[in-house]
Amino acid sequence: MTATPTSPGAPSSSALAVVKGHGTQNDFVLLDDRDGRMSLDAPLVRALADRRAGLGGDGVIRVVPSASLPEGAAVLAQEPQARWFMDYRNADGSIAQMCGNGVRVFAAYLERLGAWDGTGELALGTRAGVRRVRRVEVPPGLADDVWYAVDMGRWFLPGGERATATGADAEVAVAGLAVPRMALSVDLGNPHTVLALADLSELAAADLTRAPEVTPVPAEGTNVELVVTLGEEWLPEGTLVGRVRMRVHERGVGETRSCGTGACAAALAVRTWAGADAPDVWFVEVPGGTVRVTARSDGHVELAGPAVLVAGAEVDLTALHLA
């Protein structure tokens, strides 16, 4: 492992400056590598994300110039304004394509660093392609200070027309639930498998300390979302919205308090099951808060929600046995 201190006042090469942030309590350790000098390897990620011996987090996010990575160079060819790349790793050290909550936290971090002024649209590089972020108003009734909306790009159902017609293309067995359930695969640049439960008591009974068993399982694994539909309502301005509640088991992490791409997958699956008259806008309640998912007419999906930076710290890599 090689790490260069990221704060000008760091006393030695064993000190690593970090920031802790979260989006609806999906939490991350953030690293400033705007010089592109850091080697972010799996041992460092695991040590930082360890909730007892490290700082703790569902993942680690590095700010790095897009030009410094092959994946970033591909992004720049598509969008020259995507100067910064979100290098995201799961808590187990594995590389992930995307994280919807992480993108919002990444944008808030760039604001903190002075790399974005919070106005207009911010283009970011990710392994799932370009993501565009903007600030939006916080919906009424929520106590969050600021919301960001992210164009999450195109989504699709890997099972195609048959899955759309039948509402399923997989089977999932979840500990705590009596029988396996049929489920629908949704791709948002990373894989998801969504299954509907009958009510909130079933949602509470699910044991996500163990990974659900998915058949057939995608080659790169999958995130699994358990959802309960809460109904539909008209907002005062005349928009029909749906509401769902969700829990998620993330590959490489386990159960998390929230998952941005998972919230999108859950909303899109429920919308598919509901048919042609279903709302395009869905509020998704997760254990860590609420996000809003919008299925756009251009085939993209937008995710909006809060992002919070809670602390800055200096990590002693020697104490983590990494220096």
Whether residue 252 is contained in a domain is answered as yes
Same structural domain, 143 and 216: no
Nearest to 84 by CA among 110, 60, 105: 110
Contact present, 24 and 257 (Cβ < 8 Å): yes
- Alpha carbon distance 92, 73 (integer Å): 26
- The 10s digit of each residue's pLDDT in 217-244 is 888 899 999 999 999 999 988 999 999 9
- Same structural domain, 280 and 192: yes
Rounded-to-integer distance, Cα 261 and Cα 243, Å: 16
89 and 30 in a common domain: yes
| Phi, psi (rounded to 5 degrees) for 45 | -60, -50
- Written in H, E and C, the secondary structure of 177-215 is CCCCEEEEEEECCCEEEEEECCCHHHHHHCCCCCCCEEE
> Does any domain span residue 6?
no
Do 231 and 280 reside in the same domain of the chain?
yes
Do 80 and 164 sit in the same domain of this protein?
A: no
pLDDT, position 11: 37
Say if residue 173 is in the same domain as residue 131. no
Over range 290-305, report the average pLDDT.
Answer: 97
pLDDT digits (tens, 9 = 90+) for 156-186: 999 999 999 999 999 999 999 999 999 999 9
Q: Which domain does 103 fall in, by range?
A: 15-153+308-316
Q: Is residue 4 part of a domain?
A: no
Choice among 69, 124, 259, 317 that is catalytic: 259
Q: Check whether 322 has a pLDDT greater than 90.
A: no
Q: What CATH number did the domain enclosing 132 receive?
A: 3.10.310.10
Structure token digits, residue 237: 């301005």
**How remote is the C-alpha of 251 from its chain's centroid?**
12
| Structural domain count of the chain | 2
The answer to whether 98 and 85 have CB atoms below 8 angstroms apart is no
Same domain (yes/no): 23, 119: yes
The single-letter DSSP state of residue 67 is G
Asked if 192 and 155 touch (Cβ cutoff 8 Å), the reply is no
Query: Is 257 strand, coil or helix?
Result: coil
- DSSP-assigned beta bridge partners for residue 293: 282, 303
Q: How confident is the model at residue 44 (pLDDT cuts 50, 70, 90)?
A: very high
In angstroms, the CA 190 to CA 201 distance is: 29
pTM for this predicted structure: 0.92
Shared domain for 249 and 274, answered yes or no, is yes
**Assigned domain for 9 exists:** no
Active-site residue, 264 included: no
Q: Do 302 and 296 meet the contact criterion of CB atoms below 8 Å apart?
A: yes
Catalytic residue among 99, 124, 128, 284: 99
* Residues near 296 by beta carbon (within 8 Å), at least 6 away in sequence: 280, 302
Is 3 part of a structural domain of the chain? no
pLDDT, mean of residues 39-50: 95
Q: What residues are paired with 194 via a beta bridge? A: 184, 225
pLDDT, tens digit, 9 for 90 and up, residues 108-152: 999 999 999 999 999 999 999 999 999 999 999 999 999 999 999
- Percent of the chain at pLDDT above 70? 96
What radius of gyration, in Å, describes the C-alpha atoms of the chain?
A: 19
Answer whether residue 1 shows pLDDT above 70: no
Q: Which of 101, 100, 66 is nearest to 82 (CA)?
A: 66
177 and 292 share one domain = yes
